[in-house]
Amino acid sequence: MKKQQIKLIIAVAALVILIIVASVLYARLGDRYKPNSLITQGGSDTKTPVQDEIGDTVTVDLSGGETDAPEDTSETSAETESEDNGLAPDFSMADREGNSFKLSDFRGKPVILNFWASWCPPCKSEMPDFESAYKEYGEDINFIMLNVTDGSRETVETAKSFIESAGYTFPVYFDTGLEGSIAYGASSIPMTFFIDAEGKMVAYGMGMLDASSLAQGIGMLLE
């Protein structure tokens, strides 16, 4: 009887230890592999994007078409150029009516710049959160939902059709020359950049952002 009690006590103790170890590992690894972590820009807190921090994405060939394998985006051209003058890279884009704009035209208010395509499942999955954020913060923040318009897999017409059918009201722009996509190294989408009113990069997210991460970025812009 005593032997059985001792065995039971040992089994319970082992189970408790296993649960404690599992909890510690989960706590440590949970943040490390969190898919939609924001990466801050500037100062000693700057971090280089790593594969662990990329969430759900699809890979695009910026010369046109979709590639089969992910490309290493650990050093984007956006990082390099923003380090030179402290500003997010400037580029040209078109609105739904075909009017031309530059990113620098939006200075004076913070900017959320999101790269997307209508054939990209994670892009579409995060859009309801962007729509909600736009309705709440559209007066204070410029939302630039930039379509990666490569002219083959994605056209202005297919992008417009998707937005209209989904009923989204946030501002949509088209990167028809892929100037912005190349400048920001958007070979994996979605990607989201948070830019302050002066045109400086504050943070960015690689992969699909959830509502919490989007709110975190908005908080950085409005603090």
pLDDT tens digits, 132-156:
999 999 999 999 999 999 999 999 9
Identify which of 48, 44, 71, 41 has the alpha carbon closest to the alpha carbon of residue 58: 71
CB 114 within 8 Å of CB 186:
no
For residues 78 and 17, membership in a common domain is answered with no
CB 89 within 8 Å of CB 81:
yes
Give Cα 187 distance to the centre of its chain. Answer: 12
For residues 121 and 14, membership in a common domain is answered with no
Lowest mean pLDDT among 2-6, 8-12, 18-22: 18-22
CA distances from 221 to 32, 137, 161 (A): 24, 11, 31
For residues 157 and 143, membership in a common domain is answered with yes
For residues 24 and 74, membership in a common domain is answered with no
CB 122 within 8 Å of CB 190:
yes
Burial of 66 (0-12, 13-18, 19+ CB in 10 A): middle
CB 91 within 8 Å of CB 80:
no
For residues 167 and 89, membership in a common domain is answered with yes
For residues 14 and 63, membership in a common domain is answered with no
For residues 163 and 69, membership in a common domain is answered with yes
- Kindly tell me if the per-residue pLDDT of 36 is higher than 50: no
For residues 90 and 14, membership in a common domain is answered with no
Q: What is the mean pLDDT of residues 32-43?
A: 51
Cut 0.75: pTM above it: no
Count other C-beta atoms under 10 Å from residue 54's C-beta: 20
For residues 73 and 161, membership in a common domain is answered with yes
Domain housing 26 = 1-32
Q: State the Cα–Cα distance between residues 9 and 177, nearest whole angstrom.
A: 69
For residues 204 and 218, membership in a common domain is answered with yes
CATH code for the domain of 197: 3.40.30.10
- Quote the mean pLDDT of the chain: 78
- Kindly tell me if the per-residue pLDDT of 112 is higher than 90: yes
User: In which band, very low, low, confident or very high, does the pLDDT at 4 lie, cut at 50, 70 and 90?
Assistant: low
For residues 161 and 175, membership in a common domain is answered with yes
C-alpha dihedral (158, 183, 43, 105), degrees to nearest 10: -70
Q: How many domains are there within the chain?
A: 2
Q: State the Cα–Cα distance between residues 110 and 185, nearest whole angstrom.
A: 21
List the beta bridge partners of residue 145.
114, 172
For residues 7 and 111, membership in a common domain is answered with no
User: In which band, very low, low, confident or very high, does the pLDDT at 7 lie, cut at 50, 70 and 90?
Assistant: low
Q: Name the strand (E) or helix (H) holding 129.
A: helix 121-137
